[in-house]
Amino acid sequence: MNKAETMEKTASAVNAAMINLAPSCDPEALERLSADIIKALKTVYDPEIPADIYELGLIYRIDISDDGYVDIDMTLTAPGCPVAGEMPVWVQNAVNAVPGVADVKVHMVFNPPWDQSRMSDEARISLDMW
């Protein structure tokens, strides 16, 4: 396994536990929807940090219902972040654009507080934080 494959496997293993899929739907369709939602989340960046919010570990929980409603808990690297009011809207817009998503609710949470241990290897590499 090369370094890129190891990083991808590590990142998905770290982040996969926070995704809750509705048990009553087609598992393959929900897995595709989940992958598309993650792809959308990876388009949202903290403007002060050159890494996406998913790899930074700012997304704590994603619940996907069988009828396409998505509920997301997210945090910020610091409660005083200058884009605290804007970032949840960016997340909502990105996920709402995913085909199959009916609606998105984004909740800002600060417990547990974010720390660098939540970052994926991909984020650590891009930020040179080993």
Which residues, in sequence order, are CB contacts of 80 under 8 Å at separation 6+? none
pTM: 0.80
Give the domain range for residue 8. 3-127
Helix, strand and coil percent figures for the chain, each rounded to 5: 40, 20, 40
Q: How many domains does the chain have?
A: 1
The length of the chain is 130
Which H or E run contains 11? helix 3-16
C-alpha distances (whole Å) from 50 to each of 55, 56, 73, 104 are 11, 10, 21, 25
Residues 1-34: tens digit of each pLDDT = 333 333 343 344 344 336 666 666 677 888 899 9
CATH number at residue 30: 3.30.300.130
Q: Which of 11-15, 85-89, 123-127 has the highest mean pLDDT?
A: 85-89
